[in-house]
Each structure stands twice: as C-alpha cells, then as structure tokens.
Structure 1
Amino acid sequence: MAGRFEELMRGLRDATADRRSLRTELAALLVAHAEAEEQEVYPGLRRFASSSDEEVEHGEEEHAQINQALLAFLELNDVEGETYDEKLEELVEVVNHHTNEEEQTLLNDARTKLSPEERKRLGLAFLKARAAAVDAGSGRVERLRQLVAEVEGSLR
C-alpha cells in the first residue's frame, strides 16, 4: 500500500489532478486496510507472535485517529485552498505516524516470530479481507461517520 499511498498523496497535492477521484480511492484503501488488519492481522499477531494487547490496541486507536482525520478531509466541499491543504497534511501526518510505529513494533514481531508460512497465510487473509472491504464500500463518508461514531460512543 505504501507505493499507492504515496502516489495518491502526490496526486492529492497536485492542483491539476482529479482530487475528488483520488480522495475517494484513498478513503477506500485506508479504511479497507485498517479493517483488514483488525480482522485478520492483529488477531494472528496476538496468537502467534506474542504481540501485546497494548500494541494491538494502540494500532486500533491509531486507525480511529486516521478515520477521524480522513472524515474531516472527505467532508470538505472544496478541494482547493488552505483548508484543503491543512486537512490533507493532518491526514498524512497521522497515517505516516501509524505506519512508522507499526513497522517498528507489530510488523517486526511478525517478521521475527512468525514462520514464513504463517506470514504468507496472514498476508493472503489480509489481502482478501481488504478487497472485500473495498468492494463493500468501506471508504464511503457514511461508513466513516459510523466508524467514528462507534469509537466516540465507546469512549463515553
């Protein structure tokens, strides 16, 4: 995803690009990625790699932060101007933070503690779940609102 994510970020910063279309694709990929990780990867890491509940919960919390920033970005009517640039950079910041942390903790656990076969099985399960989430419209604004509301409701 990193390569496509970087391409989307470049496009979203390009004033001549079809930003609305790129924004839709980004939303679908980000939400589907998080849902697939939480459905397939995180449980496997808890079981087989001895990743702590705290590490997994932190990843889930960061997914919630990404969803909040993504929703704020998607709810913008204007895809130009200072507010657009600010919301895009806020989103990029939370995504980059999550990606960097995950690479250093959970994914390193997977690399060092899981067999190649188990990593492959988790990877294939992740890809299947991510594709299903994209197909189900995971990046729709309504879906993001629901996800954000669920997190906010659980914090009360």
Structure 2
Amino acid sequence: MSIDTTIDLGRPVSGDVVDLILDDHRRFEDLLRQLRSTASDRDAVRRAFAALHVAHAEAEERHVYPQLKKRRAVDAHEADHGEHEHAEGNEALLAVLECASTDTQKFDDAVEELTRLISHHLTEEELTILNPAREELGSEVLARLGEAFATERNQQIDADCGRTENVRRLVEEAREEGLIDEE
C-alpha cells in the first residue's frame, strides 16, 4: 500500500521549524476533514494521513524535541508528553488502517477517535511546545531545526513510513517503552 501521490503532503526543504510544523498541523486538519467525508477517497486519504503523521512525529522526536529540551525552550515533561501523544496517535491511526472497509461504522468510530486525539495533540503542542520554541530560540536555530525536520520528514515519506506494518511496529515499540498502555 503506497502513498497516493495525488494528495499533496508538501515537500519543504527549509524554513522556520515552527512554521513547518504548523503547516503540517493544518494539513492534518484538512486530511481529517476529508477522512470524515464519504465524498472523499477515504482509502487514499488514510494512506496519506498515515504517511504524514508518522513522518511528522518521527522528525519531531528525532530532531526537534531533543534540541528544544537541550536548549531549555521546553522542559522534558512537555517533550515526553508530546512523544506519548504521538504514540497514542499511532495507535488510533493503526485502528483506522486496519479497517477492511472505509464505509463501516467501525471505520467511522476509528476516525472519530483519531480526530479526537490528533486535535487535542495539535492544540496542546501549539500552546506548550511551539509557542515557547518561537519565544526562546533565535531565527538561526529555528531555521537549522527546520531544515533537519524537513529532511527527516521527507525521507520518512519516501520510505513509505505510513504503511500498516510500520505503524504496527511503532505501536508495539511504544507499548514496550510504556508510552501507551497494553490493551
């Protein structure tokens, strides 16, 4: 199951990391709206959402959160909480990906839960991580982080990071690390 290239996920290569992350947040909101609509190609949208969600979270966790902690722009609790919410998002995403059909109540319920978790995370991250990052870091650091974030994000998408098997692996790893509870 590869990504549908008709859905634009963006290919940033540089920029202020906060702006790049916010651009992705707006893409998440748009993709979630499409995922809720029966007028959309919901299967293509869920694959695109999966690719963007995994790529975005991996790029933040590998490049952005560690630097924000190191530079004391955010405390460890905020960054760790962001990782916990990424893991929860992956778990909800896996439930959407594992639905055999996109025209069932099971799919709609899974999309509702995914929307709830992602909306909460976007709001919280914008308030408690991105605002402090913008206030505490200079434009040069934000640009360096933006380039690292964009590079990792694009590499993840190119590697088809949103495929169901990879999301399942990420969820299993998160459970082993205690980031999400065993079901």
The answer to whether the aligner puts 1:47 opposite 2:70 as a matched pair is yes
Higher mean displacement: 8-17 or 140-149: 8-17
2:130 & 2:31 partners in 1: Cα distance? 23
The answer to whether the aligner puts 1:13 opposite 2:25 as a matched pair is no
For residues 79-118 of structure 1, the aligned pairs below 5 Å read: 79-118=102-141
CA deviations 1:29-74 (Å, max 9, x no partner) are: 0000000000110011012244111111100000000000000110
Equivalent residue number for residue 150 of structure 2:
127
SS of 1:105 mapped into structure 2? helix
Aligned length: 156
1:97: how far off? 0.6
For residues 67-78 of structure 1, the aligned pairs below 5 Å read: 67-78=90-101
1:85: how far off? 1.1
Aligned identity (percent) is 45
Question: 5+ unaligned residues in a row in structure 2: which ranges?
Answer: 1-23
SS of 2:160 mapped into structure 1? coil
Whichever structure has more helix as a proportion of its residues is 1
Question: 5+ unaligned residues in a row in structure 1: which ranges?
Answer: none
CA deviations 1:125-146 (Å, max 9, x no partner) are: 1111100111111101110111
1:18: how far off? 1.2
1:20: how far off? 0.8
1:84 & 1:109 partners in 2: Cα distance? 36
Q: Report the TM-score, using the length of structure 2 for normalisation.
A: 0.81
1:149 & 1:66 partners in 2: Cα distance? 13
Letter paired with 1:76: C
